[in-house]
């Protein structure tokens, strides 16, 4: 029987500019973690059907949340940083035995927005570099 969980307990942590993994979950309201594998065509002349092989994987993380000056300083400090930063993402939360993903990433974009009648918000995008490790919280 499947076990489903509410997204309200999700956890996202990312290194600050000093290299310390920092939890920014309390400002977030959305985390997306798309994963893709490229497919390369190998079809040759004389074939009636196309054929393919799997190429490289590509993974990114997108986050959105409510603006906080401390988190703003944190994210602004790693935008465009040449060295990768560590991340940890727990879609179910950080309870023992729940799934977590960890790896290294580069922050590729950061945007704040404010509108009349709305809360100040932010969004950020991270390009994952290298492999992602899937494990569980201890």
CATH of the domain at 35: 2.30.110.20
- For the stretch 92-134, pLDDT in tens is 999 999 999 999 999 999 999 999 999 999 999 999 999 999 9
Indicate whether 5 belongs to any domain.
Answer: no
The rounded distance, in Å, linking the Cα atoms of 78 and 81 is: 5
Q: How many domains does the chain have?
A: 1
d(CA 84, CA 129): 8
Within-domain flag for 2? no
Q: Check residue 39 and give its pLDDT.
A: 96
pTM: 0.91
19/51 Cα distance (integer angstroms): 44
Judged against a pLDDT cut of 90, whether residue 3 lies above it is answered with: no
Q: Can you tell me the distance from the alpha carbon of 45 to that of 41, in angstroms, rounded to the nearest whole number?
A: 12
| Domain carrying residue 67 | 12-41+50-136
99 within some domain: yes
Map residue 1 onto helix, strand or coil: coil
| Structural domain contains residue 3 | no
pLDDT value at position 83? 94
Residue 91 lies in a domain: yes
State whether residue 131 is helix, strand or coil.
strand
The stretch 32-37 carries a mean pLDDT of 96
120 in a structural domain: yes
Give domain status of residue 118, yes or no.
yes
Residue 115 in contact with residue 122, Cβ under 8 Å? Answer: no
Across 66-95, average pLDDT: 96
Q: Which of 39-44's residues contact partners 24+ apart within 8 Å by CB, and which partners?
A: none
Tell me phi and psi for residue 71, to 5 degrees: -65, -35
Q: Does the residue 24 lie in any domain?
A: yes
- d(C-alpha 27, C-alpha 42), whole Å: 46
């Amino acid at each position: 029987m499947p076990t489903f969980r509410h997204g309200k307990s999700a956890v996202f942590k990312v290194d600050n500019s000093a290299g310390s993994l920092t939890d920014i979950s309390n400002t977030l309201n959305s985390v997306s973690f798309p994963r893709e594998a490229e497919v390369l065509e190998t079809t040759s002349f004389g074939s009636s059907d196309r054929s393919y092989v799997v190429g490289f994987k590509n993974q990114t993380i997108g986050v959105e949340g409510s603006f906080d000056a401390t988190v703003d300083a944190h994210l602004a400090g790693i935008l465009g940083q040449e060295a990768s930063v560590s991340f940890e993402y727990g879609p179910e939360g950080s309870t023992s035995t729940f799934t977590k993903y960890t790896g290294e990433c580069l922050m590729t974009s950061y945007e704040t927005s404010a509108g009349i009648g709305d809360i100040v918000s932010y969004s950020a995008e991270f390009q994952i570099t290298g492999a992602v490790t899937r494990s569980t919280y201890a």
